[in-house]
Amino acid sequence: MPAFLSTSEPGFERAFAALLGQKREAAADVEAEVAGIIADVRARGDAAVIACTERFDRLRLTPATLAVAEAEIDAAVAAVDRADRAALELAAERIRAFHVRQMPADAFWTDPEGASLGWRFTPVAAAGLYVPGGLAAYPSSVLMNAIPARVAGVERLEMAVPAPEGRINPLVLLAARLAGVSRVWRIGGAQAVAALAWGTATIPPVDKIVGPGNAWVAAAKRQVFGRVGIDMIAGPSEILVIADPGNDPDWVALDLLAQAEHDASAQAMLITADAAFGRAVAAAVAARLVTLDRRAIAAASWQAHGAVIVVRDFAEAAALADRIAPEHLELLVADPEALAARVRHAGAIFLGPWTPEAIGDYVGGPNHVLPTARSARFSSGLSVSDFLKRTTIARMTPAAMAAIGPAAARLAAAEGLQAHGLSVQARLDRLEGGG
């Protein structure tokens, strides 16, 4: 059974803290094994990647077959169902349109002292996209990771997707084609992350690696950070629904289960001011669970990590939402905009009963790569900005140097950095000498 909590009960704070403190990450200690794989790939390159692929994916490759040939992609794309293709094309179109609006503007101006200042944005040269394979095949993740990179202007996009026993979902390959992926590599795991970070004789290195993966992939991204940039270390999926009793309990139940079915470690929570409604939603969850193909996973998630929290009012609900800082936040209330304005920490907010989180996973437009494990307190979802670098620009005129240079020289002296001060003072001396 999920946890049932009420802010009116004396033990609420202790129970709520325990709920927030649940360890939902995989307990496997993979750091040492991942470090060994990365070291092997750095030392042996293609040979190490090929050996790992045979070991983990039961697929024997050569340097010539590491990449999926364009003819293979063409054949896979041609076999995709027409309706599936139309749905994926609609998703790509909407995701691209949303992210185009995220592009920041360069700026350059002259201040009152005559100094010219500003910044410009330039894309990373190459990005690597990791896509889960095998039983987990997510063409939507290809679009969500690759399209912002292309909108940002990234010239080269390398995609790694494991192909257990040679199988790659055709929709994943179609998504790669629609999103403008440069090459698809049939490799996965820590070895793929290492190859993208360090490069091999066949696989060129990239500047940033994005995309979800299992515990080995997450550990590898953590270990190569610094050599390359990464998007985030994603944990199990989570949703918080704040709902009033005017909603259909079955709709709310389905929204909760849409996250619970991801993983047994996923978390689905409901906050409501009506205890009877909370019980009705829990009953609807139980009824729906028996109908799901992934009912074993969803049930494990709901029973171990699910929660129904009864609050006094929605002001209290907003305060709890900020403490949870959920990946996904649904506001199923009469005035969702007003409630959203009171929430500071959430990866993405979905307003009203006609905006289920699942629409955001596919065709809503905003990115579905979002901060988990309360990291929405300090980070944001994937965006065009993740593939851009901001470079500041400054140009001093003699007049500007005369106006602000003395302060720089004095601060350098105060910090005991003589050469710093002299580099400024030499120019001030030239100005005083009429040069």
Q: How far apart are the first and last CA of the chain?
A: 82
**What DSSP state is assigned to residue 246?**
T
- Map residue 22 onto helix, strand or coil: coil
CB 140, CB 175: distance < 8 Å: yes
The pair of structure tokens assigned to 391 is 């470079």
CB 219, CB 30: distance < 8 Å: yes
The DSSP H or E segment spanning 302 is: helix 295-305
* Whole-angstrom distance, CA of residue 137 vs CA of residue 141: 9
Which residue of the set 328, 330, 357, 368 is catalytic? 328
C-alpha separations of 316 from 82, 114, 115, 349, 369 in Å = 48, 52, 50, 18, 28
The pair of structure tokens assigned to 318 is 């907003």
- Residue 99 bears catalytic tag: no
Query: Which residues are registered as beta bridge partners of 239?
Result: 268, 328
Q: Burial of 161 by CB count in 10 Å (0-12 exposed, 13-18 middle, 19+ buried)?
A: buried
CB 206, CB 196: distance < 8 Å: yes
CB 343, CB 326: distance < 8 Å: no
Count CA within 13 A, CB hemisphere, residue 372. 20
Query: Which residues are registered as beta bridge partners of 130?
Result: 160
Q: How many CB atoms lie within 10 A of CB 359?
A: 12
- Residue 327 bears catalytic tag: yes
Tell me the one-letter amino acid at 431.
L
In sequence order, the 6+-apart residues with CB closer than 8 A to the CB of 341 are none
Residue tagged 């010239």 (tokens): 155
| Residue 144: alpha-carbon gap to chain centroid | 9
Q: How many CB atoms lie within 10 A of CB 74?
A: 12
Which residue of the set 158, 238, 261, 327 is catalytic? 327
* Residues classed as catalytic: 327-328
